[in-house]
Amino acid sequence: MADTPAPGTQTLARGLAVIRAVADGAHDLRTLVERTGLGRSTAHRLTQLLIIEGYLRGGRDGYTLGPTLIELGFQALHGNPLPVVARPVLEELSAQLHDTVHLAVRDGDSVLYLDKLPGTRGAEMRSRIGHRMPLTRTGVGMALLLDSEPEWRPRYQAEAPAQPDQVHAQDLNAFLTRMRAYAEAGVAKDLEDNEPGIRCVAVPIRDVTATITGAISISATRPYMPPARMQGLTTVMTKAAQRISVALGYREP
C-alpha cells in the first residue's frame, strides 16, 4: 500500500485494501494477494472475517461485494441531499426527453456518478451509479470544472491518452478553447470525448455558497444529438440545474 497506516490501524487498512481489490475485480485469493501485497494466510483471514460481517460474499464465483456495503452505500447516498433533491427533476427530464440523464459530483480527481436514468432509445452507455470517469473526458466532468480554469491544463494533461507531443498540444489547445466557451455559456458538451457516437449536454449545480457542487447531463447517440438539438437542450438543462440549485439554497447574484 502506498501510504504507511497510522499505528494501530494496520489491520483496518489491510481489510479496506481487500474490499477495494474485490471491488476492482480480484475475485480469488491468488489475485487478492497479488493486488494487495498481503500474505496468503493474512488475506484469507481477512476475507473470512469480511464475509462473516457481510462486507464480502464468498461462493462458486469467488469473492464479491456483500450486502453490508450495499446498505452503507444507500445510507451514504441518501445522507447527501443532492441526489434526493435532484431526483424529481431528473425524472421529469427523462420523461420529457427520452434520453439518458446523469447526476454526478466531483470526488477527488474524478467524476463520481450518483444517479442515472437510462434513455428509451436503445443506446446503452457504460456509465453506472458509483462509476468513476475522468473529469476532462466527460460532459459532467467538464461542467464540474467550469469555475476551475487553473486546473484545465494540468488536469487535461494528466488524463490525456498517450500520443505524439504535437498532436497532444493541438488537442490541449482545442480543449482549452472549448472550456473557455463553456465557462462563458455555463454549459459543457461532450462531443464524443468519452464514448464514440455519444454526445451530451451538461450543466453545473450550485449550492448556497454558489460553489459548483454537482452536475447533470443529458446523453444520446449522435443521430439524436445534432448540433441544433444540443443548442436547444442547453436552455432545458440550464433551467433544470437552476431548479436543483435553488432547492439547495442557491440564489442568483
Which tens digit of pLDDT belongs to each residue from 43-84? 899 999 999 988 998 887 889 888 888 777 766 656 668 888
| Backbone φ, ψ for residue 129 (5° rounding) | -60, 130
What band does 155 get if pLDDT is binned at 50, 70 and 90? very high
Phi, psi of 103 (to 5 degrees): -125, 130
- In a 10 Å sphere around its CB, with 0-12 CB exposed, 13-18 middle and 19+ buried, how is residue 7 labelled? exposed
Domains, the chain, ranges and CATH? 10-72 (1.10.10.10), 80-247 (3.30.450.40)
Please, which pLDDT band fits residue 223 given cuts at 50, 70 and 90?
very high
pTM of the model: 0.71
Side-chain half-sphere of 190: how many Cα atoms within 13 Å? 32
* Mean pLDDT, residues 222-238 taken together: 94
In the numeric block, the cell 480527481 is attached to 109
pLDDT score recorded for residue 127: 81
Helix (H, G, I), strand (E, B) or coil at 209: coil
- pLDDT at residue 1, as a whole number: 42
- Give per-residue pLDDT as tens, 159-208: 876 554 444 555 889 999 999 999 999 999 999 888 888 999 999 999 98
Q: How far from 34 is each of 18, 43, 103, 183, CA to CA, in Å?
A: 11, 10, 35, 44
- Can you read off the three cell numbers belonging to residue 253? 447574484
Q: What pLDDT does 126 receive?
A: 76
- What number of other Cβ atoms are within 10 A of residue 92's Cβ? 13
Q: Bridge partners of 101?
A: 117, 218
Closest C-alpha among 233, 193, 194, 197 to residue 216 = 233
pLDDT of 229 over the 50 cut: yes
**Position with higher pLDDT, 125 vs 42:** 42
Cell matching residue 93: 427530464
What is the DSSP secondary structure assignment for residue 203, as one 8-state letter? Answer: E
Per-residue pLDDT, 252: 79
Convert the pLDDT of each residue in 114-146 to its tens digit. 999 998 876 677 788 888 999 999 999 999 999
If one counts every other C-beta atom within 10 angstroms of the C-beta of residue 123, the result is 18
For residue 123, which of 143, 98, 140, 104 has the smallest C-alpha distance?
98
Tell me the mean pLDDT in the region 144-155: 96
Average pLDDT over all residues of the chain: 87
pLDDT of residue 7: 65
Q: Output the pLDDT for position 2.
A: 47
